[in-house]
Amino acid sequence: MIRVNLLPFRLERKKENIRRQVSIFFLLILFSALVLVWYTLSVDRTIRETRQQTEVVKGQITKYKKKADRVTLIKKQLKILENKLQIVESLKTRRKDQLDLLEILPGQIVPGRMWIESLKSDAASVVITGISFDNPTIADFMKNLEASSRFSQINLKRSKIKKMGNDVMLKSFELVCMKKVSQPQGNDTKKKKGK
């Protein structure tokens, strides 16, 4: 029987397995390092892109903030302008109201027996101060005011004797008159057109 010595072959085989395992180990380390480098580069690229987008968004925020501030300023100016227009409209209305009062009052005065010293008006009432010869003249003036279409309540606030010169005694008076609420004529014309 022939004997074959396989010992060196086994030893070679063992060395080959060890070399293969070491090669696989180093290849795994190299592959892991490549994967980590690729992942790091990918994350760095994502971070750079995110920073660029953040800078773009910050630029847009600055740009739109300026526009928003400008719009806010314009809105404030519009509100101020609207307030001024409302004031102008109320002044026009009050001016017309004052003119109407000045047109109506001369017709209500008792001629030759009284005169008006001052006239104060607001949205709801009119305060008239004046001087007359006697109480019946004041009463006639109050009746004339009540008969007009402009006033609803006439109240005598005060009436006192006022000495003029040496022997002349006159009556100083103050009346508070409530204004009648008149409907705008525009509504009447619309109703007539609708019929």
| Tens-place pLDDT, residues 14-52 | 888 899 999 999 999 999 999 999 999 999 999 999 999
| Amino acid making up residue 134 | D
CB hemisphere CA count around 15 (13 angstroms): 6
164 vs 135, residue with greater confidence: 135
The residue among 186, 114, 177, 183 whose CA lies nearest residue 148 is 177
Cβ contacts of 161 within 8 Å, gap of 6 or more:
169, 170, 171, 172
Strands 114-121 and 125-132: antiparallel
User: Hey, what domains does the chain have and what are their CATH numbers?
Assistant: 109-182 (3.30.1660)
Would you call 20 helix, strand, or coil by DSSP?
helix
Average pLDDT over residues 56-75: 91
DSSP 82-141: HHHHHHHHHHHHHHHHHHHHHHHHHHHS-TTTEEEEEEEE-SSEEEEEEEESSHHHHHHH
- Highest mean pLDDT: which of 40-49, 88-97, 109-118, 131-140? 40-49
